[in-house]
Protein backbone atom coordinates (compact mmCIF):
# COMPACT_ATOMS: atom_id res chain seq x y z
CA UNK A 1 0.00 0.00 0.00
CA UNK A 2 1.30 3.45 -0.89
CA UNK A 3 -0.11 6.22 1.25
CA UNK A 4 -0.06 9.51 -0.64
CA UNK A 5 -1.09 12.20 1.83
CA UNK A 6 -0.93 14.75 -0.98
CA UNK A 7 -3.97 13.19 -2.64
CA UNK A 8 -5.99 12.55 0.53
CA UNK A 9 -9.38 14.27 0.30
CA UNK A 10 -9.47 14.92 4.06
CA UNK A 11 -5.84 15.99 4.51
CA UNK A 12 -5.56 18.70 7.10
CA UNK A 13 -8.68 18.21 9.23
CA UNK A 14 -8.19 14.44 9.65
CA UNK A 15 -4.38 14.41 9.94
CA UNK A 16 -4.28 14.80 13.71
CA UNK A 17 -6.23 11.58 14.18
CA UNK A 18 -4.54 9.48 11.46
CA UNK A 19 -2.15 6.62 12.11
CA UNK A 20 0.28 8.01 9.51
CA UNK A 21 0.73 11.22 11.51
CA UNK A 22 1.07 9.29 14.78
CA UNK A 23 3.76 6.97 13.40
CA UNK A 24 5.57 9.14 10.85
CA UNK A 25 4.91 12.77 11.75
CA UNK A 26 3.12 15.61 10.03
CA UNK A 27 2.09 15.01 6.39
CA UNK A 28 4.17 17.85 4.95
CA UNK A 29 7.26 15.78 5.76
CA UNK A 30 5.95 12.60 4.12
CA UNK A 31 6.78 11.40 0.63
CA UNK A 32 4.19 8.69 -0.10
CA UNK A 33 5.24 6.07 2.44
CA UNK A 34 4.87 2.46 1.38
CA UNK A 35 3.40 0.06 3.90
CA UNK A 36 3.54 -3.71 3.39
CA UNK A 37 0.16 -5.47 3.29
CA UNK A 38 0.87 -7.44 6.46
CA UNK A 39 1.70 -4.19 8.25
CA UNK A 40 -1.57 -2.64 7.04
CA UNK A 41 -3.39 -5.60 8.59
CA UNK A 42 -1.44 -5.17 11.85
CA UNK A 43 -2.23 -1.45 11.94
CA UNK A 44 -5.90 -2.32 11.49
CA UNK A 45 -5.78 -4.62 14.53
CA UNK A 46 -4.01 -1.94 16.58
CA UNK A 47 -6.59 0.66 15.53
CA UNK A 48 -9.51 -1.63 16.38
CA UNK A 49 -7.95 -2.15 19.81
CA UNK A 50 -7.72 1.60 20.36
CA UNK A 51 -3.92 1.62 20.54
CA UNK A 52 -3.43 3.85 17.46
CA UNK A 53 -5.88 5.91 15.41
CA UNK A 54 -7.07 4.39 12.13
CA UNK A 55 -5.80 5.34 8.70
CA UNK A 56 -7.91 8.34 7.68
CA UNK A 57 -6.81 8.36 4.02
CA UNK A 58 -9.71 9.16 1.71
CA UNK A 59 -8.90 8.98 -1.98
CA UNK A 60 -10.63 11.54 -4.18
CA UNK A 61 -13.32 10.19 -6.47
CA UNK A 62 -14.47 11.35 -9.85
CA UNK A 63 -18.20 11.99 -10.25
CA UNK A 64 -19.76 10.52 -13.34
CA UNK A 65 -22.77 12.28 -14.44
Q: Going residue by residue through the chain, which has 65 residues, state the pLDDT in tens, using 9 for 90 and above.
A: 677 777 788 877 888 888 888 777 776 655 566 677 888 888 888 889 988 888 777 666 645 45
pLDDT score for 31: 56
- What are the CA-CA distances from residue 25 to residues 20, 53, 62, 63 (Å)? 7, 13, 29, 32
Single pTM value for the model: 0.47
pLDDT score for 48: 92
pLDDT score for 55: 78
Phi-psi region of 4 (alpha: psi -120 to 50; beta: other; left: phi over 0): beta
pLDDT score for 60: 67
Amino acid sequence: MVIDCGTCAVAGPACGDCVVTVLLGEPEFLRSPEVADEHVAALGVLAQSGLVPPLRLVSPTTKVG
